Amino acid sequence: MQYLTLFTLALTLIATICLAKSPYQSVLQHSKIRGRQHGPNVCAMQKIQGTDKKYFTNCKQWYHRKICGKPTVISYECCPGYEKLSGEKGCPAALPLVNIYNTLGMVGATTTKMYSERAQLREEIEGPGSFTFFAPSNQAWAALPTEILDALVSNVNIELLNALHYHMVNRRLTSEDLKHGSAFPSMYQDFNVHIHHYPNGIVTVNCARLVKTDQHATNGIVHIVDRVITAVTNNVHTFIDTDDDLETLRTAVAAAGLTQMLESDGHYTVFAPTNEAFEKIPPEMLNRILGDPVALRDLLNYHILKNMQCAESITSGTPLETLQGTVLEVGCDGTDMTLNGKAIVQKKDQLGTNGVVHYINELLIPDSAKTLLELAQGSVVTTATKLFVDADLGSHLSGSETLTILTPQNEAFKEGVTMTGELKKLLKNHILKEKLSSSLLYHRQELETLGGIKLRVLVYRNSLCIENSCIAAHDKTGRFGSMFTVDKVLTPPMGTIMDVLKADDRFSLLVGAIQTAGMTELMNQAGPHTVFALTNDAFSALPKADLNKLMGNPQELAGVLKYHMAKEILVSGGVGSHTRLKPLQGDKLELNMRNQTVYINKVPVVEADLMATNGVVHAVGAIIKPLSPKVDREQADDPIRTASSMRTDSRIGVKNDDLFQKVRKSISSRTMTRIQ
């Protein structure tokens, strides 16, 4: 029964909110439902601790109990238009319908009521008509700078009356009428008041938040706002053009050809960097951007949102699209407005006829305005960045060449790495001769490096790799080039698989076995191949007599070796929890990754990703045997149980052979300890 009640309540909540007509009404309805247990017409309000700021609550805020990163407390108050009755639960009584002047006193706007009388506005708002009054709260008047308030009240017949008339519209406007982006002529020289109605339910007039709405009166309606608003006469470009603190920005806007746009009709948000913000940028970088019209336009457009965002509309971090095409994380921390997590906004809500300006003290530089070297100057690739410079590759990364750099994460390098000739050559092969996007790469595509070699693209279900290095983060696309962050230092392919094996003393016995089995040509073919290469230790684990017998039977030896090969290329970064390979001879190979080690049929790889021009080599220290079909995957994860149930498979060319049984028994007893 309890679950049925909760289910019914949930359906009621969803249905009620879905029927609401606007974001504000949705939030109001949610607050009413949350306050229902306290009686009729009770709304749940969230108040930011340590402040007087209250909000109707939405689902996210209700469960997180935070607004602008600060904890909130829940209070239950009468919803707009209702009041308590002595001895009765909730707020059952509708507020008496009186004129606007008396309504101001009933809804907590007593200071506005007092100033209305002083300015001789009382008769007008008590008389006939149909007005909307955006009435500043008592706290709003108290927050006005003393010199501004003194100037208003010292000239009540003109300045104060004009200010109050600017808060009035000569028609009745409910919250439903306050559409996003709308403007209504005020009763002060028909200067517009500008409305913005945000998806989170917040409504602003000239960037002042409506804190109480829809207080009906006989001759109109009252909305309480959280600040005193002033007339808007200039566009956003005028702010930039007339403020000495924005002199550098003004020059940049003109050079980028954005003046006309910022003077046109629209609803822009401009995060305007001050002169101080520009001065924080290294002169060489700043001069380069200012002298490059494309980079400059990208930089400035990164500071402009496609819509108007008043500071009071922000209650949590929100990604918002810029004119440059990427997003800014616009958020808040207490009373501070933040950009990409930084509290760099100095002055908020400078409202213009076509948008709003917020002054910031740091320049926001998008990736699209940066050189490759500037892109690489990040926290996870600082080691690679320094090494590129030490390898005398900085000129390639700072110029206008169209390139792509592969930057390994810091953890890909051993501590105390020093520059050598070989490392310089290797780093040069981390720079590709094209500006690329990872989204356009395809399997087995070849990419040429500055070092003159070709690298292969390898596409797997959950990873995208270039040779053995797999992309570990989103691309960064700069002015002339792109940066791929990769998980490890690249191993360029050097010779065929046979060349790789011959060059490594660990595989001397394997090289001999390949030659005995007549597989040398196969190892040199174009491929692609993946070879699980048996080290000398793997052969040494066999009794000498058994090894000699195996080496003396080329057909059986070839069957064993072909079970260690697949006709595709699989690097360690492409191995998932249950990856399968079809060997050249025999049943499937099961691979997985545990503790950064690749296992094949539960045999660990001792060194992965030895790259060859026709494939990849993974060194293994034991002969790989088929898993018993009777062992499920959970059982196979236990090497001891797996070893006890291993058997030969006729498809690898060793059918019930005593020699292979001895090999299996010997390997099982001598290598299980290593695997574990």
Given a cut of 80, is residue 16 above it in pLDDT?
no
- Mean pLDDT across the stretch 375-385? 90
Quick check: 228 pLDDT over 50? yes
Q: In angstroms, rounded to a whole number, what is the distance separating the alpha carbons of residues 197 and 195? A: 7
pLDDT tens digits for 266-286? 899 999 999 999 999 999 999
- Distance (Å, whole) CA 92 – CA 88: 8
pLDDT of residue 578: 87
d(CA 639, CA 597): 15
Coil vs helix vs strand at 26 = helix
Q: Write out 100-116 in H/E/C secondary structure.
A: HHHHHHHCCCHHHHHHH
Distance in Å from the first CA to the final CA of the chain: 53
Dist. CA 48–CA 337, nearest whole Å: 15
Per residue in 396-405, pLDDT (tens digit) is 999 999 999 9
Among 423, 445, 420, 418, smallest CA distance to 434 is for 445
**pLDDT value for 662:** 42
What distance in Å separates the CA atoms of residue 480 and residue 312, rounded to the nearest whole number? 38
pLDDT at 642 over 60: no
pLDDT, mean of residues 99-119: 96
Res. 415 pLDDT band, cuts 50 70 90: confident
Contact 258, 297 (CB under 8 A): yes
pLDDT of residue 545: 86
Q: Is the dihedral of CA 136, 139, 140, 142 positive or negative?
A: positive
Task: Tell me how far CA of residue 376 lies from CA of 288, 292, 404, 490, 515, in angstroms.
Answer: 17, 20, 11, 17, 47
Pairing assessment for the beta strands 482-486 and 404-408 based on DSSP bridges: parallel
Under 8 Å between Cβ of 546 and 586: no
Cα 607 from Cα 674, distance rounded (Å): 14
Encode pLDDT of 483-492 as tens digits. Answer: 999 999 999 9
CA 468 – CA 449 distance, rounded (Å): 15
- Range 387-391 average pLDDT: 95
CA 396 – CA 292 distance, rounded (Å): 18
Q: In what order do the strands lie in the sheet with 168-169?
A: 168-169, 131-136, 220-225, 208-217, 203-205, 192-197, 183-185
Check whether 657 has a pLDDT greater than 50: no
Task: Kindly state the percentage of the chain with pLDDT values over 70.
Answer: 90
Contact 547, 539 (CB under 8 A): yes
The rounded distance, in Å, linking the Cα atoms of 111 and 119 is 12
Q: Using an 8 Å Cβ cutoff, are 266 and 260 in contact?
A: no
String of DSSP letters for 460-494: -SS-EEETTEEB-S--EE-SS-EEEEESS------
pLDDT at 266: 85
Whether omega for the bond prior to residue 604 falls within 30 degrees of 0, making it cis, is: no
3-class DSSP state of 444 = coil
Q: Convert the pLDDT of each residue in 189-215 to its tens digit.
A: 999 999 999 999 999 999 999 999 999
pLDDT higher than 80, residue 125: yes
DSSP structural state of residue 35: H
Which residues share a beta bridge with 579?
591
Q: What is the CA radius of gyration of the chain?
A: 36
Q: Report the C-alpha gap between 81 and 32 in whole angstroms.
A: 13
pTM of the model: 0.81
What 3-state DSSP class applies to 530?
strand
Closest CA to 374 of 293, 461, 286, 442: 286
pLDDT at 652: 38
Average pLDDT over residues 551-562: 92
Quick one: tokens of 463?
A: 């990873």
Compare 276 and 549 and report the one with higher pLDDT: 276
Q: What is the pLDDT of residue 630?
A: 55
pLDDT value of residue 480: 95
Please name which of 299, 275, 287, 295 lies closest in space to residue 360, comparing C-alpha atoms: 275
pLDDT digits (tens, 9 = 90+) for 589-639: 999 999 999 999 999 999 999 999 999 999 999 999 998 875 444 444 443
Q: What is the pLDDT of residue 155?
A: 87
- The pLDDT assigned to 597 comes to 95
- Is the pLDDT at 643 greater than 80? The verdict is no
Cβ pair 370, 364 in contact under 8 A? no
- Rounded CA-CA distance 536/320 in Å is 59
Mean confidence (pLDDT) of the chain: 89
Give residue-wise pLDDT tens across range 140-178.
999 999 999 999 988 888 999 999 999 999 999 999 999
CA dihedral for 583, 585, 586, 587, sign (positive or negative): positive
Q: pLDDT-derived band of residue 377, with 50, 70 and 90 as boundaries?
A: confident
pLDDT of res. 401: 94
Q: What is the pLDDT of residues 337-359, one digit of tens each?
A: 999 999 999 999 999 999 999 99
Minimal CA–CA distance to 480: which of 281, 295, 290, 286?
295
Average pLDDT on 429-450 reads 96
DSSP character at residue 79:
P
pLDDT at 313: 94
CA–CA separation, 515 vs 526, rounded Å?
18
Measured in whole angstroms, the distance separating CA 449 from the mean position of its chain's CA atoms is 30
